[in-house]
Amino acid sequence: MKDARRRMKPGQSPASVRARARRIVERLKQHTPHARVELDYTTSFELLVATILSAQCTDERVNRVTPALFAAYPGAGELARASQARLESIIKPTGFYRSKAQRLIECGQTLVERFGGVVPKTMEDLTSLPGIGRKTANVILGACEGVPSVVVDTHVKRVSHRLQLTQQTDPTKIEFDLQAVWPERYWTEGSQRILLHGRYVCLARKPRCEVCVLYDDCEWTGKRARPC
């Protein structure tokens, strides 16, 4: 209750805030019925690797790199024994390839040493992997394990602020705020739909307000007037 009140304007009730948050997800669902993670993967290991590579890189570019990467390193064991130079040469198009290669090898080694080469299935265990934070852990839990999870990336942060679903700037606090206004069944799809909305419509510099299905529910002072 306290979290909901922190987001409210005078005259709003916690129930109205939650109803508006659910309405936002439903409107996005009508517009994009099938919202999915845009990284290509078939296993939780592949999604873990792809998510690490997606830092400061588009999903499209990651998807061009991962077929060769997964063919060379199909599991944690192969990744743990990888030559850093060879790994760097494969993932170089994703940027920051030296640090990413080091992180991937360390993750592979930790998976082998602590988890028998299997990607763990809890937030605590996932975030114990080298360089893995809550965002990556939530991606894996929501997409692969069916665990209700709120992913907060730069798009979710921006859009949830513009929609006044949170006043926080810390990603973990934003995650908890969104959990507070959505039922658990909305967590995974809600954050994924907001992520895609931010990626394709509610852009950082030039938001496409003219095609936004959330226009009437958006109280952002910077939103653009629609043409008459």
Q: In the structure encoding, which two tokens stand for residue 46, read together?
A: 């592949």
CA distance 185 to 89: 41
- Tell the residue number behind the tokens 């954050």, with chain if given: 191
What three-state secondary structure class fits 111? helix
**Catalytic choice (100, 135, 157, 177):** 135
Diameter over CA atoms, the chain: 62
Count the alpha carbons within 13 Å of 86 in the hemisphere toward its beta carbon: 11
Active-site residue, 153 included: yes
Q: Is-contact 155 199, C-beta < 8 A?
A: yes
Distance of CA 155 to the CA centre of its chain: 8
Active-site residue, 173 included: no
Q: In the structure encoding, which two tokens stand for residue 63, read together?
A: 């998807």
**Catalytic choice (153, 170, 173, 206):** 153
- Helix, strand, coil % over all residues of the chain, rounded to 5: 60, 0, 40
Q: Which residues are part of the catalytic machinery?
A: 135, 153
